[in-house]
Amino acid sequence: MPETSDESAFTYTVRYSKRKTLAVAVKDGHVTVYAPKYAKMSAIDAFLTKERDWIIRALQKDAKRQALRPVFATGGHFTFLGREMTIEVSDTATTHFDIARGICFVKSGIEDATESIVSALQAFAAQYLRMRLEKFAASRGITYRSFAMTRATGKWGSCSSDNKIMLHWQLIFLPVAEIDYVIAHECAHTVHHDHSKAFWERVFELCPDYKALRRSLANRAIYAFEA
């Protein structure tokens, strides 16, 4: 059975298994320690003391990410291309966005607008990301095999060995500059399918501010939404 304990600034859950080493993970504001089946609490406490600074930093980083989490309810908010949007109920037949006014209108009578808003955002993202990638690549003489939007959690984007580029729909929450960095990153992979020095030099050519944008992106998260 998992055991929950206190270690000064945070609580944690221990999960025992047949693994041979101790490990720690931070997710959704919770610390989980993965321990060998017969690990002693003294060993776990010593491990946590050693990793304490990393855990505190990870918790702080996770808190920043969760603070940016979209709230899909009346009066809620989310960012749309980096701009704050509020949610209002109207007599509209479908969910739509008034970007100039920063308002997302949803149909009245819907208790949970998550499914409606996510669906509308994904439809917009599919067209916007395709257009953004096409424009970015064309202006820089880059060719790729195909584009697809992904809903899978984990990565903002990917480029396969045969240059098929995939971009996550939740990029739509980010400022345009960060979206362009992700696009530049994947476009660089059409030439360098690794993260070698040559790859990063190519990223710099495509996006000179990539280092600052990469740091900013590290504070973002891809969220799971329950419709």
Q: How far is CA 100 from the centre of its chain?
A: 25
Q: Please give the pLDDT value at position 69.
A: 84
Please choose, from the candidates 185, 147, 184, 181, the residue with its C-alpha nearest in 3D space to the C-alpha of residue 167.
Answer: 147
| Model confidence, pTM | 0.78
19, 44, 67 - which closes a domain: 67
- Containing domain of residue 15, as a range? 3-67
**What tens digit of pLDDT does each residue of 110-161 get?**
767 888 999 999 999 999 999 999 999 999 999 999 999 999 878 999 999 9
Please check whether residues 50 and 154 belong to one and the same domain: no
Higher-confidence position of 65 and 221: 221
Residue 67 banded pLDDT, cuts 50, 70, 90? confident
Residue 65: what pLDDT? Answer: 76
Could you give the strand order of the β-sheet that contains 96-98, starting from the edge strand earlier in sequence? 77-80, 83-90, 103-107, 96-98
What whole-number distance in Å separates Cα of residue 197 and Cα of residue 143?
Answer: 21
Residues 107 and 172 in one domain: yes
Q: Is the pLDDT of residue 175 over 60?
A: yes
Distance, in Å, from the CA atom of 153 to the CA atom of 221, rounded to the nearest integer, reads 9
User: How many structural domains compose the chain?
Assistant: 2
**Of 49, 67, 85, which one is at a domain's C-terminal end?**
67
In degrees, rounded to 5, the angle at the alpha carbon of residue 119 between the alpha carbons of residues 117 and 124 is 95
The C-alpha atoms of residue 84 and residue 69 are separated, in whole angstroms, by 12
| Residue 149, φ and ψ in degrees, nearest 5 | -90, 140
Query: Within the chain, what is the greatest distance between any pair of CA atoms?
Result: 61
Contact 118, 169 (CB under 8 A): no
Residue 88 Rama label (left phi>0; alpha psi -120 to 50; beta): beta
Average pLDDT rounded to a whole number, residues 206-227: 89
How much is the pLDDT for 215? 94
Instruction: Let me know whether 209 and 100 are in one domain.
Output: yes
Task: Give residue 8's pLDDT.
Answer: 52
pLDDT at position 152 is 85
pLDDT in tens, 178-194: 999 999 999 999 999 99
Residues 15 and 111 in one domain: no
Query: Which of the listed residues 21, 45, 67 is the one where a domain comes to its end?
Result: 67
Average pLDDT of the segment spanning 74-92: 90
* Calpha distance 136→124 (Å, rounded): 18
Strongest mean pLDDT among 15-29, 102-116, 206-220: 206-220
User: Are residues 112 and 200 both part of a single domain?
Assistant: yes
Cα separation, 76 vs 92, in Å, equals: 18
Mean pLDDT value across residues 59-63: 85
Output the domain CATH number for residue 197.
3.30.2010.10
Domain assignment present for residue 44? The answer is: yes
Q: How far apart are the first and last CA of the chain?
A: 31
So what's the pLDDT on residue 68? Answer: 76
Confidence band, pLDDT 50/70/90 cuts, at residue 7: very low
Question: Buried b vs exposed e over 149-186: b needs ≥16 C-beta within 10 Å?
Answer: bbeeeeebbbbeeebebbbbbbbbbbeeebbbbbbbbb
